[in-house]
Chains A and B, each alone.
Chain A
Amino acid sequence: MLSYIIRRVAQSALVLFVVGLVAFSMFRFVGDPIDNMLGQERTMEDVERLRGQLGLDQPFPVQYVKFLQEAVQGNFGVSFRQGRPVAEILAERAPATLELAMVSAVFAIVLGIALGVFTAIRRGGFAANFIMSASLIGVSLPTFLIGILLIYIFSVELGWLPSFGRGEVVDLGWWNTGFLTASGLKALILPSITLGLYQMTLIMRLVRSEMLEVLRQDYIRFARARGLSDRTINFRHALKNTMVPVITIIGLQLGAIIAFAIITETVFQWPGLGLLFINAIQFVDIPVMAAYLMMISVIFVTINLAVDILYAFIDPRLRVSA
C-alpha cells in the first residue's frame, strides 16, 4: 500500500518534470524572447546584455533548473502582451475559474451518477431510453453551442439571467468570490450548466455502461441465486463495483472541466484563466501559455494522485495482498 502510494507520487513528480520541460522549451524556442522583449531598435550590446541577464548564454540543463527554481517560487516572468508579472495575472484570474469549475463539477458528478445508475437499472424502459437519446444529443452538441443556446433563451428572449461576466464580486483580499452576492450567484448559473452538461453526459454514459458490465458478472448472478433483492444487488453489490473504474474517469473529467472552462469563459466573457489562455494563444504570449500549462498540470496531477489513493482505499485487492 505504502509502496503503491510512493510509486504514484514519484510518477506524478516525473509528469510535472516533463511538463515543465515542455513549458520551458516553449519559452526558450518558440519565438525569440529577445525579439519579444526588445523593440526594433536594438544594438548588439543590448542583445548580449539581455541574453546574459536572462541566462540564455548558459547550457540548456542549467537554464531548465533555473526555470524550475523560479517556477516553484511562483515566478513565471512577464507577459509579453500586458507587461505585468504572469504570476500576478494568474492569481487575479484563478478564483473566477475555480469557482465556476467547482459548481459545474458538483452538478456533473451528482446528476451524472444518479442518471447513470437510473438508466442502467431501468435499461430498456421508456424514461431510460429517453434520457439515453437526449444524452447523445448532449454529447453531439458542442459546449459553445450549448452556451449560445442558453444565452439566447435565458438572456436574450426571457431576460432572466445575465449573458456575460461574473456579476458583483466580493474581494476577500486573497480571493474574490461571486458566491456572496445575488448577482454573482445568478451569473454563475448559465456558465456552470454550460460547462457541466457535457461532463455530466459523459459521466452518466460511463456509469451506465460500467454498471451494465458489472451486472453481467458471475457474482451478481450468484447474488441473485442467493435470493438477494434487486435493491441490495443494485445499490450494494453493483454500485460499489461500478464506482471503482468510474472514480478514475471522474478524476480525469474534473481536469477536463478546468480545460473546458476555456470555451465557456469565452462564450460568457467570464474573466478567468481560460479567457486569459485563449488570448495568450491568439497573441502568442508564451510566458502566459507556459505558466497556465504549468499551473493546470499541477492541478491535474494532484487530482489524479488523489484519485489513485482513493482507489486503493476502495479496492481491497490493492489494499491487502493475498
Chain B
Amino acid sequence: MTDPVLSIRNLTVEIPTRHGIFKPVEHVTYDLHPGEIRGVVGESGAGKSMTGNAVIGLLDPPAHVSEGEVWLNGRRIDELDAEDKRRIRGKEIGMIFQDPLTSLNPLFTVGEQLVETIQLHLGLAASEARKRAIALLDRVSIPDPADRFNQYPHQFSGGMRQRVVIALALCTEPSVLIADEPTTALDVSVQAQVLDLIKELAKERQVGVILVTHDMGVIADTTDTVTVMYSGHVVESGTTDQILGAPTHDYTKSLIAAVPRPHTKVERFPMVSYGERERTFKIDDLAAHWDKTNLSKTGKLLEVENITKTFLQKGGLLPSQRQYFTAVDQVSFDIRDGEVFGLVGESGSGKSTVARMIGTLYPLDSGRVIFDGEDVTAMGTDALQAYRRQIQMIFQDPFSSLNPRMRVGDLVAEPIHHHQILSKAQIGPRVRELLDWVGLAKDAWRKYPHEFSGGQRQRICIARALATQPRFLICDEPTSALDVSIQAQILNILKDLQDHLGLTMLFISHDLPVVRQMCDRVGVMRQGKLVEVQETDSLFATPEHPYTRELLDLMPRLKQLA
C-alpha cells in the first residue's frame, strides 16, 4: 500500500468548562490513503466531527488540540501557526459541511466564490480561474455551467448547492477531503447522486476522503474503510466489510445489531446495549391496567376518504397573484383494527400533513376522515373531544415536543387533566405509574425535560401519549432524530404496544428498512399523492409503481450485514 496522505496520531482535544476539562476527542489514531474513502461513524457526541475540525484547524475556542500529531503528506501540520494552517485549508484539505443551504454566501454568485478560492490558492489570472471554475461545475454535473456560473446560491436547489460546495472543496485539487455528514440534509434520491459523485471524484483524482456520518447505509454503500468512535475514542478500525460483517468490539456489535435490516423482518430488535443502559419497559404492568374491550364495529378503525390540503405558498393582495401548493391531493386509505399502517415518502411528499390532518391539527380542504364509523369532519364539540381522547401522536423531535418550561409530571398529567379522566387526587399516582412503566426513574416526574437524553424524552412522549388510554397512535418519524441503538429500543416499545395493547398505529417514516420492520401494510406517497398501498412484504418483493421501485433501488443494500 502507498504511504498515507493523512495520518492522525493520538489526537486529543480538550474543552475547559466550569466543571473541569472535557475531552470530546481522546487519543484518536487513524490513517487515510490516496483514493480511500474512510467512514467515521458513531453516535451524536462521539467526537466524529470534532476530529475533522481539529485536523483542519477549525476548532472553536476554547476547544484546542492538547496532545497528538497530524501529518499531511509527510509534513506535521498540527504545530503550524494560524497563517500556515490557513494556507493548507482549501488548498490541500477541502471540506464539505452538512447543510448546503447555509454553506454558500447568499450575496455572492457561485462563480465569484469559486474564482475567489481558485485565485487565492493557485494564483491564476481571472480568465483562467473562470475557465477552470466552469469546467468544475460541469464536472459535478451542473447543467449549463456557464450560465449557472453567474447565478446566486438561492437559485440552486439543495442537491445542486451541495454539488457546488463539492466543486468549491475540490477546485484547488486538494489531497484530502473532509465531508461532515454531507448528505444528511438531503433526500434519498439526491443523497445517492451526491455520494456517487464523491465516490467517482475520489477514485478519479486520488483524493483521500474522510466521510463523517451516523448512517450505516451510507457507510455500507460508499466507504472503503471504517473507523468507529464512541465517546471520544476510536473503538475499532478496519475495512468496511470486516467491520460490518465481523465486528469485534462490543460497541460495534451493538451498533450493527441495532441497524434495521432492509430484507428480512425480525420479531424484535436484538438488544445488545452498550453504554447508556435503559431501564426496561414494563409492558405487562401497563397491559394489566389497559381497557382492551373496545373493538371497532367495522373492523376498520380509521378511514380516510379523498382528503386534500392546499397551503398558500406566496401571498398577494389580489387572488390571482397568490400561489398555492397542494400538500395532500385526494388521498384515500383505511387502517384496520390493531394494525400498523406505514406511510413512506421523501420530504415534502405530504405524509406528515396527512398525519396532522387526521390529528385535527390542520382542517381539511375536502374529503372525510372516519373514525370507528363516525365522520370526524362532521363532529360537534363534545364528539370531537371524545375523538381526541382516542387518538394520540408521537413526534419526530423529542427536543421540541416537550414544553421545556413544564415538569415531566405536569406534561404527562396534561391530557388526563384536560379530558377529566381522573380526579385531581388520582392524577399524581397515575402519572408516576405511567413513567415507571415506560422505564423512567421514580423521581422523573419532578424533573424538567432538559435533564433527559433523547431516548428518555421519547419515552416521556410515549407516557404522555398513553395517558388517555387511546386506541389509535400516530407516530410521525418517531425515531429519525435518535441514534440507531436508541431507535431500536423505541421501536421495540412501539411493537410491544401494538402486540399487548392492540393499539392501532399510523407510522410515518422516510426510512424504508424501519418501515419494513414496523408495518403490516405500507402506503407510498409522492408529491401529495398516494401512489401505492400494499402489504409490507409484497411491497418490498413486488413493487408496482415505478416510483416505489426507484425508492427501493436507492435503499442502502447493507449486503455485508448478516
Near A by CB (< 8 A), chain B positions 127-176 give: 151-152, 154-155, 165, 168-169
User: Which residue of A219, A225, A237, A244 is within 8 Å of B102 (Cβ)?
Assistant: A219
Residue A39 at the B interface, CB < 8 A?
no
Q: How many residues of A contact B (CB 8 A)?
A: 26
Contacts of B562 in A (CB 8 A): none
**Pair B106/A317 contact, Cβ less than 8 Å:** yes
Of the candidate stretches B1-9, B113-121, B524-532, the one touching chain A is B113-121
**Pair A224/B89 contact, Cβ less than 8 Å:** yes
A230 to B559, CA, bound (A): 46
Contact A226 B105, CB 8 Å, known A218-B99, A232-B116: no
**Pair A227/B86 contact, Cβ less than 8 Å:** yes
**Pair B86/A229 contact, Cβ less than 8 Å:** yes
Contact A222 B154, CB 8 Å, known A227-B120, A317-B106: no
Near B by CB (< 8 A), chain A positions 189-221 give: 217-221
**Pair A218/B102 contact, Cβ less than 8 Å:** yes
Least Cβ–Cβ distance between B150 and chain A, in angstroms: 10
Residue B248 at the A interface, CB < 8 A?
no
Residue A314 at the B interface, CB < 8 A?
yes
Contacts of B89 in A (CB 8 A): 224-227
User: Which residue of B86, B88, B90, B107 is within 8 Å of A316 (Cβ)?
Assistant: B107
A193 to B412, CA, bound (A): 60
Contacts of B107 in A (CB 8 A): 240-241, 244, 314-316
A227 to B86, CA, bound (A): 5
Bin chain B's interface residue count.
20 to 34
**Pair B95/A222 contact, Cβ less than 8 Å:** yes
**Pair B152/A225 contact, Cβ less than 8 Å:** no
A224 to B93, CA, bound (A): 12
Residue A2 at the B interface, CB < 8 A?
no
**Pair A226/B90 contact, Cβ less than 8 Å:** yes
Contacts of B154 in A (CB 8 A): 316-317, 322
A135 to B361, CA, bound (A): 48
Contact A227 B105, CB 8 Å, known A317-B152, A317-B154: no
Contacts of A227 in B (CB 8 A): 86-91, 117, 120-121
Contact A241 B106, CB 8 Å, known A222-B97, A226-B168: yes
Least CB separation from A219: chain B residue = B105
Contacts of A316 in B (CB 8 A): 106-107, 109, 152, 154
Contacts of B95 in A (CB 8 A): 222, 225-226
Least Cβ–Cβ distance between A153 and chain B, in angstroms: 42
Least CB separation from B156: chain A residue = A322
Near B by CB (< 8 A), chain A positions 218-250 give: 218-230, 232, 236-237, 240-241, 244
**Pair A228/B104 contact, Cβ less than 8 Å:** no
A73 to B149, CA, bound (A): 52
**Pair B86/A221 contact, Cβ less than 8 Å:** no
Residue A172 at the B interface, CB < 8 A?
no
Residue A30 at the B interface, CB < 8 A?
no
User: Which residue of A221, A228, A315, A322 is within 8 Å of B116 (Cβ)?
Assistant: A228
User: Which residue of A217, A222, A232, A320 is within 8 Å of B152 (Cβ)?
Assistant: A320
Least Cβ–Cβ distance between B156 and chain A, in angstroms: 8
A228 to B157, CA, bound (A): 25
Contacts of B58 in A (CB 8 A): 221, 224-225
Contact A219 B106, CB 8 Å, known A227-B91, A229-B86: yes
Point out which of B97, B105, B151 has the most chain A C-beta atoms below 10 A from its C-beta. B105
User: Which residue of B56, B105, B109, B120 is within 8 Å of A225 (Cβ)?
Assistant: B56
**Pair B97/A218 contact, Cβ less than 8 Å:** yes
User: Which residue of A220, A221, A225, A237 is within 8 Å of B108 (Cβ)?
Assistant: A237
Least CB separation from B57: chain A residue = A224
Contacts of B168 in A (CB 8 A): 222, 226
Least Cβ–Cβ distance between A208 and chain B, in angstroms: 19
**Pair A218/B103 contact, Cβ less than 8 Å:** yes
Contact A241 B105, CB 8 Å, known A224-B89, A225-B89, A227-B121: yes
A224 to B58, CA, bound (A): 8
Contact A320 B155, CB 8 Å, known A226-B89, A228-B90, A228-B116: yes
**Pair B117/A222 contact, Cβ less than 8 Å:** no
Contacts of A226 in B (CB 8 A): 89-90, 94-95, 117, 120, 168-169
A226 to B104, CA, bound (A): 11
Q: Mark A300-320, 1 if CB is under 8 A from B, else 0.
A: 000000000000001111001
A223 to B117, CA, bound (A): 9
A159 to B359, CA, bound (A): 77
Least CB separation from B121: chain A residue = A227
User: Which residue of A219, A240, A314, A317 is within 8 Å of B104 (Cβ)?
Assistant: A219
**Pair A217/B108 contact, Cβ less than 8 Å:** no
A315 to B154, CA, bound (A): 11
Q: Mark B68-112, 1 if CB is under 8 A from A, else 0.
A: 000000000000000000111111001101010011111111000
A224 to B105, CA, bound (A): 12
Least Cβ–Cβ distance between A310 and chain B, in angstroms: 14
Contacts of B90 in A (CB 8 A): 225-228
Contacts of B104 in A (CB 8 A): 219, 222
Least Cβ–Cβ distance between A2 and chain B, in angstroms: 14
A241 to B87, CA, bound (A): 24
Least CB separation from A217: chain B residue = B102
A228 to B88, CA, bound (A): 10
User: Which residue of A232, A237, A322 is within 8 Å of B155 (Cβ)?
Assistant: A322
**Pair A237/B105 contact, Cβ less than 8 Å:** yes
Contacts of A230 in B (CB 8 A): 86
Contacts of A240 in B (CB 8 A): 107-108
A240 to B106, CA, bound (A): 10
A158 to B467, CA, bound (A): 79
Least Cβ–Cβ distance between A205 and chain B, in angstroms: 23
Least Cβ–Cβ distance between B168 and chain A, in angstroms: 6
Contacts of A317 in B (CB 8 A): 106, 152, 154
Contacts of B106 in A (CB 8 A): 219, 241, 315-317
A228 to B120, CA, bound (A): 7
Point out which of B99, B107, B151, B154 has the most chain A C-beta atoms below 10 A from its C-beta. B107
Least Cβ–Cβ distance between B88 and chain A, in angstroms: 7
Least Cβ–Cβ distance between B63 and chain A, in angstroms: 14
A315 to B152, CA, bound (A): 10
Least Cβ–Cβ distance between B55 and chain A, in angstroms: 11
Near B by CB (< 8 A), chain A positions 72-101 give: none
Least Cβ–Cβ distance between A145 and chain B, in angstroms: 39
Contacts of B99 in A (CB 8 A): 218
Near B by CB (< 8 A), chain A positions 246-301 give: none
User: Which residue of A222, A241, A315 is within 8 Å of B103 (Cβ)?
Assistant: A222
Contacts of B94 in A (CB 8 A): 225-226
Contacts of A218 in B (CB 8 A): 97, 99, 102-103
Least Cβ–Cβ distance between B174 and chain A, in angstroms: 10
A226 to B174, CA, bound (A): 11
Least Cβ–Cβ distance between B128 and chain A, in angstroms: 18
A–B complex contacts, Cβ < 8 Å, 20 sampled: A218-B97, A219-B105, A221-B97, A222-B103, A222-B104, A223-B105, A224-B86, A225-B56, A225-B90, A226-B117, A226-B120, A227-B86, A227-B87, A227-B88, A227-B90, A227-B120, A241-B106, A316-B109, A317-B152, A317-B154
Known contacts A228-B86, A315-B107; 6 further A-B pairs (Cβ under 8 A): A225-B89, A225-B90, A225-B95, A226-B90, A241-B105, A317-B154
Please report A residues at the B interface, Cβ cutoff 8 Å.
217-230, 232, 236-237, 240-241, 244, 314-317, 320, 322
Kindly list the 7 A-B residue pairs having the minimum CB-CB distance in the complex, ordered from nearest: A227-B90, A225-B95, A218-B102, A226-B90, A227-B89, A316-B152, A219-B105
